[in-house]
Amino acid sequence: MTRKLEGKVAIVSGSGRGIGREIALKLASEGASVVVNDLDAAPAEQVVAEIRAAGGQASACAGSVTEAGFADRFVAQAIDGFGGLDIVVNNAGYTWDNVIQKMNDEQWEAMLAVHLTAPFRILRAASGFIREAAKREAAAGQEVFRKVVNISSVSGVYGNAGQANYAAAKAGINGLTRAMAKEWGRYKVNVNSVAFGLIMTRLTEAPADAEASIDIAGQQIKVGVNPQVLKNAEALIPLGRGGTPAEAAGAVYLFCIPESNYVSGQVLVCGGGRP
Is residue 7 very low, low, confident or very high in pLDDT (cuts 50, 70, 90)?
very high
Q: How far, in Å, are 7, 86, 94, 104 from residue 30 at the CA level?
A: 10, 14, 27, 43
Q: Picking from 174-178, 188-192, 222-226, which range would have the lowest pLDDT averaged per residue?
A: 222-226
Q: Whole-prediction pTM value?
A: 0.92
- Give me the chain's average pLDDT, please: 93
Is residue 215 very low, low, confident or very high in pLDDT (cuts 50, 70, 90)?
low
What is the domain partition of the chain in residue ranges? 9-270
Q: How far, in Å, are 70, 121, 141 from residue 128 at the CA level?
A: 16, 12, 20
Condensed to tens digits (0 to 9), the pLDDT of residues 113-156 reads 999 999 999 999 999 999 999 999 999 999 999 999 999 999 99
> What is the bridge-based pairing of β-strands 87-90 and 58-62?
unpaired
Q: Residue 242: its pLDDT value, please?
A: 94
d(CA 48, CA 250): 19
Q: Residue 210: its pLDDT value, please?
A: 54
> Does residue 216 have a pLDDT over 90?
no
The pLDDT of 51-64, averaged and rounded, is: 98
Q: Residue 275: its pLDDT value, please?
A: 72
Which amino acids are annotated catalytic?
Answer: 166
Q: Residue 235: its pLDDT value, please?
A: 87
Q: How far, in Å, are 24, 72, 123 from residue 48 at the CA level?
A: 9, 20, 23
Domain 9-270: which CATH number of 1.20.210.10, 3.40.50.720, 2.60.40.10, 3.40.640.10: 3.40.50.720
Q: Residue 207: its pLDDT value, please?
A: 56
The pLDDT of 160-188, averaged and rounded, is: 98
Q: Residue 202: its pLDDT value, please?
A: 76
